[in-house]
């Protein structure tokens, strides 16, 4: 089980005893020669790796703040999917989504954790 670096809650979905981590797990960013703040043009340090994880809820929250929307495609068919919409909007608008209250409870819990 992995903790989300943004909200601090687990990235595990489903039952914590048997569930798997979902989101951006153990992602790695690296600084390079031109990166070093104060001695380069960037914000990360040269020769340094930064490893972090973000749960699906925090990724969705970040995506909603992007100036350029994320590209969405179906990884089974390889085809482009509908344009990205925040999860809360998809839950509210899509009639076929049945676990609306469960989603809202988890959404609210993680939003509160991000603020603390």
pLDDT in tens, 7-46: 999 999 887 777 799 999 999 999 998 988 988 899 999 9
Q: Is residue 49 part of a domain?
A: yes
Instruction: Give the total number of structural domains in the chain.
Output: 1
Q: Is residue 74 part of a domain?
A: yes
Q: Is residue 37 part of a domain?
A: yes
Q: Is residue 3 part of a domain?
A: no
Q: Is residue 50 part of a domain?
A: yes
Establish how many alpha carbons lie within 13 A of residue 75's alpha carbon, considering only the half-sphere containing its beta carbon: 0
Hey, what's the torsion of the CAs at 18, 23, 24, 26, to 10 degrees?
A: -10
Is residue 58 very low, low, confident or very high in pLDDT (cuts 50, 70, 90)?
A: very high
Domain that holds residue 111: 12-115
Q: Is residue 27 part of a domain?
A: yes
Q: Is residue 6 part of a domain?
A: no
Instruction: Return the pLDDT at 79.
Output: 85
pLDDT in tens, 65-89: 999 999 999 989 988 888 999 999 9
Tell me what the mean pLDDT of segment 87-102 comes to.
96
């Amino acid at each position: 089980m992995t903790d989300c670096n943004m909200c601090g809650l687990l990235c595990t979905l489903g039952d914590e005893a048997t569930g798997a981590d979902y989101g951006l797990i153990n992602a790695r960013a690296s600084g390079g020669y031109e990166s070093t703040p104060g001695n380069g043009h960037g914000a990360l340090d040269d020769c340094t790796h930064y490893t972090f994880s973000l749960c699906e809820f925090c990724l969705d929250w970040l995506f909603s703040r992007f100036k350029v929307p994320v590209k969405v495609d179906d990884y089974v068919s390889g085809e482009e999917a509908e344009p990205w919409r925040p999860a809360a909007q998809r839950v509210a608008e899509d009639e076929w989504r049945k676990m609306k209250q469960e989603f809202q409870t988890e959404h609210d819990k993680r939003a509160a954790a991000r603020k603390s």
